[in-house]
Amino acid sequence: MKTALICGVSGQDGAYLAQLLLNKGYTVCGTSRDAEMSSFQNLVRLGIRDKVKLESMAITDFRSVVQVLTKIQPDEVYNLAGQSSVGLSFQQPVETLESMAAGTLNLLEAIRFIGVPIKFYNASSSECFGNTGELAADENTPFRPRSPYAVAKAAAFWEVANYREAYGLFACSGILFNHESPLRPQRFVTQKIVAAVCRIAQGSQDKLHLGNISIKRDWGWAPEYVEAMYLMLQQEQADDYVIATGESYSLEEFIAEAFACVGLDWRKYLVTDASLLRLTDIAVGRANPAKASEKLGWEAKYKMRDVVRMMVEEKLAGYKEISICQ
């Protein structure tokens, strides 16, 4: 039986990955800065809170990282920790860089220091590419980060590549494009849209306020993307992979699809708000996930419209449960 350590187990990806690995017979351990105080609400929602062994670990503290790795003795480490919001990274640039760049470096150095053959996965991001324009980014596309978040993710990516090449560590990065689910935090625009659409449909909200709706993204389904993470660590050789659907849509199309799910015309409810514009934003994000298909046998089954429908259906089901309880 393999043991996996998931850093950032309380987030969307961490929770779905824990569920996947438990179903595969793994012993799953997860970390949080303070495991005794954290609610691990996503693990609770998936019904696996009591099946995951939880440890307190500060990823920016090398001693803390070494202690947990020594105690757990994992076969695989998944680094999904760190500040997760592009928008928030402009307000907290130092915290963002430390949690990702320094945190990833601590994990890599701890694995090298301990000297045990641990396989390491690092969560990288399509934000590293910046504007791809009409070019579909693959593993050889240069990084042009446009936010503190993207800069930190790019630094962590190259740390992983360096430790793989210099020390022979089995270390890889998944360059994941946008992937959504009902477990997404409310600050993410996709959740904001879905929640607003459902409230408007229920009659408890009048308008949806957003910034730039012309941006284009490749949106996938998070539970599928954690399968790609797992597959990367089952290969004979460590490598980096772009994980995406290969299809990009505008935020306007995402909005239209969400309103269509409840039978409404989005144009009647959307208000463009200049105060919600980011300091810098990526106009277009396109992906070429051919390598993942060829080497991992992984392809996204769900595309943007499927993702929107599933998120809206779950949110509406939640409202119905609340109304029944009341």
Question: Is position 127 annotated as part of the catalytic site?
Answer: yes
Cα dist. 78→123, 170, 211 in Å?
Answer: 8, 12, 34
User: How far from each other are the two terminal CA atoms of the chain, in whole angstroms?
Assistant: 45
Task: Assess whether 149 carries a catalytic annotation.
Answer: yes
* 241 a catalytic residue: no
Q: CA 19 to CA 226: how far, in whole Å?
A: 10
CA distance 259 to 269: 9
Which residue out of 127, 180, 224, 257 is catalytically annotated?
Answer: 127
DSSP states of 171-231: EEEEEE--EE-TTS-TTSHHHHHHHHHHHHHHTS---EEES----EE--EEHHHHHHHHHH
Collapsed DSSP state (helix, strand, coil) of residue 308: helix
Q: Which is catalytic among the residues 26, 121, 149, 230?
A: 149
The H or E element spanning position 250 is: strand 249-250
Q: Considering 84, 89, 125, 248, which one is annotated as catalytic?
A: 125
Catalytic (active-site) positions: 125, 127, 149
